[in-house]
Amino acid sequence: MLVTLLLTPLIAAALMALVRPRAWLEFIHALAAVGGLAVGLIVAVRVWRGDVPAAIGGLLRADGLSALMVVVITLLGAIAALYGLGYIRAEYDDTHLTRVRSFFGLFHLFLFTMLLAVTTDNLGIMWVAIEGTTLATAFLVNLHNTPRSLEAAYKYLILSSVGIALAFIGTALLYYAGASRAGEIAVNWTSLRAAASSLNPQVVRLAFAFILVGYGTKAGLAPMHTWLPDAHSEAPAPISALMSGVLLNVGLYALMRFKTIADIAVGANFAGPWFVGIGLLSLAVAAVFLVRQRNYKRMLAYSSVEHVGIICMGLGFGGYWGVLGALLHVINHALSKSLLFLLSGNILLKYQTTDIRRVRGLLRASPLTAGAFLTGILALIGLPPFGLFMSEFLIFRAGLESGPVWVVVLGITLLVVVFAGMLSSVNQMLYGAPFEKVEHGDVLRWSLAPIVVNFTLLLVLGLTLPHAVTEALEAALRVLGVTHA
């Protein structure tokens, strides 16, 4: 089943290169995305029932953390894919079939690389897969082929490649730490986890520093985040939704795996403060840029830096509630940010600009888009009854229990700054008189139908934790070595 999960987007991408009629391209695109979601759910259910699916001699393996990531990737991949059908039709007519084919093909290569990264047991393959996400998305960032998109793509490619090179050094050092103490061991998670207590602690500390900076760059953590606002604001809306809602989580996934090994090898007091520090720095940097942001897509991108920082703080605070809150925040942020980036596509098609100062009267010009955008922003800034309120509450509760308290106070203060900055920006967009050339009425009304799933899940996760979600989170927590006291 893991092989089927990976082959679905890969075969779809290959067919995109062979098929000519646009209708066939769109059919394969939609079928592969929905089929991938179905296969992903089957894999996840098997894991949650106690099975550990494996394939290709153990190179592919899915545990509780993998299953959680597979569901996030395939669910948001399907939502973005369905929205993308209407979005790409609005952007490119039949005279631009080459770009349409590039978009659909690279979209599925992007999904394939992310799925491979979270379902392989081999650290080397995971490293290659994460680098593959960079190559697939760099072309998508430059899909519009403008000077700004080209600059953003180069910046993204160079910084991500530097980060992934540092991650490679860290991975090699971790392997050396195992080989020097425990003899020859396979470069996979299960072997490293089993041998973690015998790893050379000095080498593990050095390896973790490289890995934190390397995969932290991919996760968008400050100060390595500088590629993120440019790339996310220049990419087509469905790709921005996946990059912000899913790709950052793949970087976090790698960090969580390595942190688990470091915790066993050198103790939880080593990696935890690093995560809290870099998380707080990310939150502070995002707050500064969100106070008076003039580009609504960059506003959403900096918000991603903020939320990745909050997740890292939860992982750093540690304990059952801290890590549970971090995992829950991974889901909530993915749901809220993806829907907002999809809505930003509607706003861009309507106003032909990402400048907040040139978007006026959104409520009157596009009532459905405006209402959904405002609701999504309220969810994103952590207001009840949406899920982000609960996950942020759990994270800062863990911070109060583990300390230091000033970190929690500073974190909440920065959240208030973000709250005020984002509401002020959105307020400018919603009210006032639309420019005369802007026609009344929503664009792509039916294309927005899939985001009902995002709103529903955000509301459910804000009111309760369904049994299935609790089981999924508990399975992921066990992989990370966390149990309820």
Dump pLDDT digits (tens) for 341-399: 999 999 999 888 899 998 988 998 899 999 999 999 999 999 989 999 999 999 999 99
Selection from 259, 429, 284 nearest residue 343 by Cα: 429
Residue 38 has pLDDT above 70, yes or no: yes
Residue 477 has pLDDT above 90, yes or no: yes
Q: What is the pLDDT of residue 34?
A: 95
Residues of the chain above pLDDT 70, percent: 98
* pLDDT tens column, 150-188: 999 989 899 988 999 999 999 888 888 777 665 566 678
Q: What is the pLDDT of residue 185?
A: 62
CA separation for the pair 250, 11 (Å, rounded): 22
Determine the average pLDDT of the residues in 267-279.
90
Q: What is the pLDDT of residue 485?
A: 64
Residue 438 has pLDDT above 80, yes or no: no
Q: Could you report how far apart the first and last alpha carbons of the chain are, in Å?
A: 35
Could you count the other beta carbons within 10 Å of the beta carbon of residue 197? Answer: 11
Q: What is the pLDDT of residue 188?
A: 82
Those residues whose C-beta lies under 8 Å from the C-beta of residue 24, and which sit 6 or more positions away, are: none
Reading the block at residue 28, the tokens are 């394969």
Residues of the chain above pLDDT 90, percent: 64
* pLDDT tens column, 304-341: 999 999 999 999 998 899 999 999 999 999 999 999 99
Radius of gyration of the chain (CA): 21
Q: What is the pLDDT of residue 182?
A: 56
Q: What is the pLDDT of residue 184?
A: 60
Task: Output the CA angle 463-460-305, nearest 5 degrees.
Answer: 95
Determine the average pLDDT of the residues in 55-68.
91
Q: What is the pLDDT of residue 217?
A: 92
Confidence grade of residue 250 (pLDDT, cut at 50, 70, 90): very high
Selection from 429, 239, 453 nearest residue 350 by Cα: 429
Q: What is the largest CA-CA distance in the chain?
A: 73
Q: What is the pLDDT of residue 437?
A: 73
Buried b (16+ CB within 10 A) or exposed e, 335-356: bbbbbbbbbbbbbbbbbeebeb
Distance of CA 118 to the CA centre of its chain: 13
Q: Which amino acid is at 240?
A: S
Q: What is the pLDDT of residue 243?
A: 92
Determine the average pLDDT of the residues in 38-63.
91
* pLDDT tens column, 287-297: 999 988 889 99
Reading the block at residue 232, the tokens are 């996310």
- Give the HSE-up count for residue 313: Cα atoms under 13 Å, Cβ half-sphere: 33
Q: What is the pLDDT of residue 227?
A: 86
Q: What is the pLDDT of residue 108?
A: 95
Q: What is the pLDDT of residue 119?
A: 95
Q: What is the pLDDT of residue 46?
A: 93
The per-residue pLDDT of the chain, averaged, comes to 90
Determine the average pLDDT of the residues in 188-201.
83
Determine the average pLDDT of the residues in 242-263.
92
CA separation for the pair 65, 39 (Å, rounded): 17
